[in-house]
Copies of this chain bind each other. A is one copy, B any other.
Amino acid sequence: MRRAVDEPAGQPILAIDLGGTRIRAAHVSPDLAVACRMAVDTDDEEGVEAVIGRICNLATDVVACAGAAGLPAPVGIGISSPGPLDPWQGIVVAPPNLAGWRDVPLVDRVEAEVRLPAFLERDTNVAVMAEWRHGAGQGAEDVIYVTVSTGLGGGIVLGGRPLIGKDGTAGEVGHMTVELDGPICGDGAPGHAEAIGSGTAIAREGRELLASGAAPQLARLVSDPAQVSAAQVAQAAEEGDAACRAVLDRAWTAIGAMCASLVNALNPEVIVIGGSIAVHHPTLLDAVRAEIDRRAFPRPARRVRVSLAEHGDDVSLIGSLPIVNERLHDPAYRHGQMRTPA
């Protein structure tokens, strides 16, 4: 199982994507082929142990599937998880969208069960690795990945190195302030970009429009006013609802301003935009480009490329390929029984 440090980095891995709604797993080869895809509902309301059991079962099933298919055995496991988490100790700290998870030593648990060295990283850091090494940011040294979906998150690579931070929280770009007294974010702070630009924020604005009677097209689309989705607000906007259009425009402006701030502060070469909302709304990229041109210095604004993520939902699987291969022999991540000296 153990390999010499100078062996080529590209070995197949087992990727696990732990999300608030679904757990996905797959075998990922160095040529980026994703095989033996499997998924189950997270059902975090059933408790931490039940979810850990599902993760381990899924991993075991993928290993068996890969063996049966004649694929080379994975050399390790990469686990993408919502943050905050401790990537060095392999501990999920307290993600808001995993009920009851608090300081869970997920890597130890998975290693003990699946008998492969495992590595934990925040979902957005996994995504930036996928796009930097194998996607829209390939070849660049300074890459920022921004995900626009329920929340607004990010991962940062600078000078050819992922930026993790001493607490593992670097890259939380959605929690940059874009309005000093703006709407309250999920974490209680005012005016974060996430509180204006995320799917959650768009849906909240939609609910408020319905309550005030200001969005007639939206009212026709929605049966339960408490269940408005960002997708419905967007659909109403497309059908000519001016108030919904204004909500989307404001969301795009907030995301674009946040990106422009990153251009001025970090001078990146590429900003990769992913996440379900980005995939469904290509005009978001145009808006980000326009806000960068409006709010950032001319030279870094000209430099930076704004691109849609190439790997879509698979960023959280493919990104584990470089992570596992690079950390397999990195002593900073040696912990747990699979990584005691052989």
Contacts and interface: CB of A to CB of B under 8 A. Distances in A.
A190 B264 contact: no
A173 B267 contact: no
B177 A295 contact: yes
Contacts of A254: 180
A165 B180 contact: no
Contacts of A265: 154, 156, 170-173, 175-176, 262, 265
Interface string A66-102: 0000000000000000001000000001000000000
Interface stretch (A3-11, A223-231, A275-283, A296-304): A296-304
Given A142-B165, A177-B178, A257-B180, A84 B299 contact: yes
Nearest to A253: B180
Contact of A267 (B167, B191, B303): B167
Contact of A166 (B142, B176, B187, B191): B142
A261 B261 contact: yes
A294 interface: yes
Contacts of A303: 166-167
A246 interface: no
Interface string A153-166: 01010110101111
Interface residues of A, number: 52
Contacts of A268: 165
Contact of A161 (B159, B167, B178, B179): B159
Contacts of A297: 84, 169, 172, 175, 187
A93 B84 CA distance: 41
A260 interface: yes
A178 B175 contact: no
Nearest to A299: B167
Interface in A238-295: 250, 253-254, 257-258, 260-262, 264-269, 294-295
Given A257-B177, A299-B84, A264 B159 contact: no
Nearest to A189: B295
Nearest to A188: B294
Which of A84, A176, A254, A257 has most B Cβ within 10 Å? Answer: A176
A139 to B, nearest CB: 13
Contacts of A260: 177, 189
9 contacts: A154-B265, A163-B266, A163-B267, A165-B300, A167-B303, A169-B300, A180-B250, A189-B260, A190-B295
Interface of A: 84, 93, 141-142, 154, 156, 158-159, 161, 163-173, 175-180, 187, 189-192, 250, 253-254, 257-258, 260-262, 264-269, 294-297, 299-300, 303
8 nearest A-B pairs in the assembled complex, by CB-CB distance? A165-B267, A176-B261, A170-B267, A177-B257, A175-B264, A189-B295, A167-B299, A172-B264
